[in-house]
């Protein structure tokens, strides 16, 4: 619903669709240095519908099938997945998460900035404790390529 998403229909139409992850890195706030997430090899899908539903799953590449509790912990730490309804305002979209791989995100709004770089969609997360080192502040930078 365009009115609900507060952007012109042409812009919403450009954002909606099915996207394939091209790259995922974490940028350190202090240095600006980028480090690849999940060791540099990740895959994912992002679905943004015209009715305002977001679904995304991102994983490390070549994850082994978990057979032990330790394996399951590694699997949990190499996936990001959530869904919810999103609203767009300007160059930001906010997803009200209703289902997530991490319960800390469920019922918490996730705010992302976006821009188009040529044919690609670039999404930036908000600054937060860096998931790579846990000590500094960082943000995710994800580049997506349209599938359909």
**Are 62 and 75 spatial neighbours (Cβ–Cβ below 8 Å)?**
no
Q: What is the pLDDT of residues 76-112, one digit of tens each?
A: 989 999 999 999 998 999 999 999 999 989 999 999 9
The C-alpha atoms of residue 76 and residue 6 are separated, in whole angstroms, by 35
The structure's pTM equals 0.86
Q: Which residues contact 115 (CB under 8 A, 6 or more apart)?
A: 91, 121, 122
pLDDT recorded at residue 132: 64
The yes/no answer on whether domain 2-146 falls in CATH 2.40.128.280 is yes
Where along the chain do its domains lie? 2-146
Model pLDDT for residues 24-47, shown as the tens digit of each residue: 999 999 999 998 888 778 999 999
Q: In angstroms, rounded to a whole number, what is the distance separating the alpha carbons of residues 8 and 69?
A: 48
How much is the average pLDDT of 63-69?
93
Residue 7 has what pLDDT? Answer: 46
pLDDT of residue 78: 92
């Amino acid at each position: 619903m365009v009115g609900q998403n507060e952007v012109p229909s042409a812009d919403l139409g450009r954002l909606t669709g099915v996207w394939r992850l091209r790259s995922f890195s974490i940028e350190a706030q202090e240095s600006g240095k980028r480090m690849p997430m999940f060791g540099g090899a990740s895959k994912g899908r992002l679905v943004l519908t015209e009715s305002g539903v977001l679904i995304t799953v991102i994983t490390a590449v070549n994850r082994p099938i978990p057979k032990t509790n330790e394996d399951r912990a590694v699997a949990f730490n190499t996936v990001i997945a959530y869904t919810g309804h999103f609203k767009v305002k300007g160059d930001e979209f906010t997803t009200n998460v209703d289902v997530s791989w991490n319960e800390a995100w469920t019922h918490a709004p996730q705010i992302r900035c976006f821009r188009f770089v040529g044919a690609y969609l670039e999404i930036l997360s908000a600054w937060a404790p860096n998931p790579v080192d846990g000590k500094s502040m960082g943000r995710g930078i994800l580049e997506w390529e349209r599938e359909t």
